[in-house]
Chains A and B, each alone.
Chain A
Amino acid sequence: DGGITQSPKYLFRKEGQNVTLSCEQNLNHDAMYWYRQDPGQGLRLIYYSQIVNDFQKGDIAEGYSVSREKKESFPLTVTSAQKNPTAFYLCASSIRQFSGANVLTFGAGSRLTVL
C-alpha cells in the first residue's frame, strides 16, 4: 500500500539535544512538507520541498533543518535552537503542480516531548 511512514511515533528529548524525525513516502510524489501541530493553532508549515535537493522555509522554520537527498525521504531535524519543540509533527506529500490545488497526503505523525 502506498503511503507516508513517519518514525518514531513518540520521541523524548532532553533540552539541548538535536533530534531527527524520519519521513518516507512511496507515493512517487514530488513535493513533501513538514507541519507542526499545536492545540488551537492548526497546522503550521515548517519546511517544504518541491524537488530533490531543493527546499524552502515555511512560516516557522527557525530552529529546524531539513534535507531532501532522495525523492522518497524528507527528514526533519529539531535543533537545540528551537525554544519550544514539544509538539506533534506531521509530514505530508503531494503531486507537484504549479497551478490548482492537490490533495495533501499526511503521515500518522511523530509526537516529540522535551523533558
Chain B
Amino acid sequence: QQQVKQSPQSLIVQKGGISIINCAYENTAFDYFPWYQQFPGKGPALLIAIRPDVSEKKEGRFTISFNKSAKQFSLHIMDSQPGDSATYFCAATFNNAGNMLTFGGGTRLMVKP
C-alpha cells in the first residue's frame, strides 16, 4: 500500500522555467514532510521540509506548498537550472514514528539548457 503518491514520474523543463512536483498522502497522522534530492549514482539528500502548521516554506529557489485539507503538498523549483536535474522524492512521517519515512515513487527531473 503506497501511502504517498507522487507525480509526475518524469518531468522535462526548460532552463529558467518552473518545475512542479506533486504529492498526495492518505495518513492524516503524518506531520512532517521532507523532500529529498538524488543525483545519479548518489544517495538522496534532504532538500527542504515542512510541517503542516504552515502552508508554505521557501528556501532559495525551492518552495514547498502544503494543503492540509486536500492532503497534498508540492515542490516548486523556480528558475530551474540544468544543475537541478535529479530525482526528487517526497516523504512523510509522524510523531513517534522513530524516523520511519514513507517515500513517494520519485520524479526524475531534467532541465534542458
Which partner residue on chain B sits nearest A43 by CB separation?
B103
CB contacts (< 8 Å) of A40 on chain B: these are: 9, 105-106
Chain A 79-115 near chain B by CB (<8 Å), digits 1 or 0: 0000000000010101011111111101111000000
CB within 8 A of A45: which of B43, B49, B100, B105? B100
Which partner residue on chain A sits nearest B49 by CB separation?
A101
| CB atoms of B103 and A104 under 8 A apart | no
CB contacts (< 8 Å) of A41 on chain B: these are: 105-106
CB within 8 A of A42: which of B34, B93, B97, B106? B106
In the complex the two chains form, what is the Cα distance from A103 to B32 in whole Å? 11
CB contacts (< 8 Å) of B43 on chain A: these are: 4, 90, 92, 106-109
| CB atoms of A99 and B93 under 8 A apart | no
Chain A, interface residues (CB within 8 Å), range: 20 to 34
Q: Which residues 55-113 of B have a CB within 8 angstroms of A?
A: 89, 93, 95-101, 103-106
B46 within 8 Å of A (CB atoms):
yes
CB contacts (< 8 Å) of A102 on chain B: these are: 99
| CB atoms of A43 and B32 under 8 A apart | no
| CB atoms of B99 and A109 under 8 A apart | no
A-B contact list, 15 entries, CB within 8 Å: A40-B105, A40-B106, A41-B105, A42-B2, A42-B6, A42-B89, A43-B103, A45-B100, A94-B99, A98-B96, A99-B96, A101-B34, A102-B99, A104-B46, A106-B44
Given contacts A41-B105, A42-B104, A48-B100, 11 further A-B contacts (CB under 8 A): A40-B106, A42-B6, A42-B103, A42-B105, A43-B101, A50-B98, A90-B43, A90-B44, A98-B98, A104-B44, A107-B43
